Amino acid sequence: MSGDLIDQIIDKYVNEKGILIQLLLDIQHEFHWIPKEAIKRISERLKIPYSQIFRVASFYTALSLKPIGRHLIRVCVGTACYVRGGTRILDSVEKKLGIKSGETTSDGKFSLATVNCLGCCALGPVIEIDGQYFGKLNSANLEKTLSNYN
């Protein structure tokens, strides 16, 4: 991990207010997670307490303090998706990738997470991959959807 690259990202936000979340998102986009080294450097450079940065990074589900795969798959298990087979979709994704929710494949290609709602209940069951939503899933179209990311 390059301290110079972290500094380049931070440089875009020097003297800006209310930028912490976007800065953390940029760091995560570059490294596929938010390393402690980056939190320390942000704290030093922007004079934001380390504890405040860590609190923000650990609160938001869009941010990760551990490495995530190049593709993040989020499976909705909220009520509307649950009653339409969301847990079957989750089981299928886990089986296909060989990981459980909260884990990353050994090749670093995929990370899997569950969420309580993706906000598109009428399309349930729904998954999101890298910000793109796929709804009304069943085993056939799930397989096709996942194959587009191999």
State the pLDDT at residue 140: 87
Q: If we measure between CA atoms, which residue out of 56, 54, 12 comes closest to residue 35? A: 54
From first to last of its 150 residues, the chain has per-residue pLDDT tens of 567 999 999 999 988 889 999 999 999 989 989 999 999 999 999 999 999 999 999 998 789 999 989 999 999 999 999 999 999 999 999 999 999 999 999 999 999 999 999 999 999 999 999 989 999 999 889 999 999 987
Q: If we measure between CA atoms, which residue out of 99, 60, 93, 97 comes closest to residue 76? A: 93
**∠ CA 111-113-117, rounded to 5°:** 145
State the pLDDT at residue 1: 57
Q: Where in the chain are the domains? A: 3-59, 71-147
State the pLDDT at residue 76: 96
Q: Which residues contact 21 (CB under 8 A, 6 or more apart)?
A: 56, 60, 63
Among left, alpha and beta (phi > 0; psi -120 to 50; other), residue 69 is beta
State the pLDDT at residue 61: 79
Q: Count the Cβ atoms, other than its own, within 10 Å of residue 76.
A: 29
Per DSSP, the three-state class of 129 is: strand
State the pLDDT at residue 72: 92
The CATH topology of domain 71-147 is: Glutaredoxin (3.40.30)
Give the architecture (CATH level 2) of 3-59: Orthogonal Bundle (1.10)
Q: If we measure between CA atoms, which residue out of 51, 38, 46 comes closest to residue 2? A: 38
Q: Which residues contact 100 (CB under 8 A, 6 or more apart)?
A: 94, 112
Q: Count the Cβ atoms, other than its own, within 10 Å of residue 48.
A: 16
